[in-house]
Amino acid sequence: EVQLVESGGVVVQPGGSLRLSCAASGFTFDDYTMHWVRQAPGKGLEWVSLISWDGGSTYYADSVKGRFTISRDNSKNSLYLQMNSLRTEDTALYYCAKDVVPAGRDAFDIWGQGTMVTVSS
């Protein structure tokens, strides 16, 4: 079964740091571009970041650029999001998602169930 499972979400104070993980199974992980997408409570979807199949290319939404770092370990079929200098507006459910095609820049066909990050004092 193709599956993505996120973990690492907790309550953290403003200015704090957090690392999210996403474990992939059921497909050839190192063939695909991967993404993080977030959803604030009661709000819509917001794309956060992507990483190419080999980790050689990464891109970020302006709202997180300079604070978040996406990475992957293909030997462990895992995707990560290092989140620093967290703000209250980063409070959201964070999803990892798989691109439909290896080259990326397409739709997201597989999503995890999400992990909740709450930034609050």
Partner 1 sequence: SYELTQPLSVSVALGQTARITCGGNNIGSKNVHWYQQKPGQAPVLVIYRDSNRPSGIPERFSGSNSGNTATLTISRAQAGDEADYYCQVWDSRDVVFGGGTKLTVL
Please give the residue ranges that form the binding site for partner 1 (CB under 8 A): 35, 37, 44-47, 50, 59, 61, 95, 100, 105-109, 111-114
Closest distance to partner 1 from the beta carbon of 22 (Å): 12
Closest to partner 1 by CB, 16 or 104: 104
Of 4 and 83, which has the nearer Cβ to partner 1? 4
Cβ contacts of 4 within 8 Å, gap of 6 or more: 22, 23, 24, 96, 97, 98, 110, 111, 112
Give the shortest CB-44-to-partner 1 separation in angstroms. Answer: 4
We find the least distance from the C-beta atom of residue 1 to partner 1, in angstroms, to be 13
58-60/45-51 β-pairing: antiparallel
Q: Which of 112, 92, 87, 79 is nearest to 38 (CA)?
A: 92
Helix, strand, or coil (residue 75): helix
Task: Give the shortest CB-113-to-partner 1 separation in angstroms.
Answer: 5
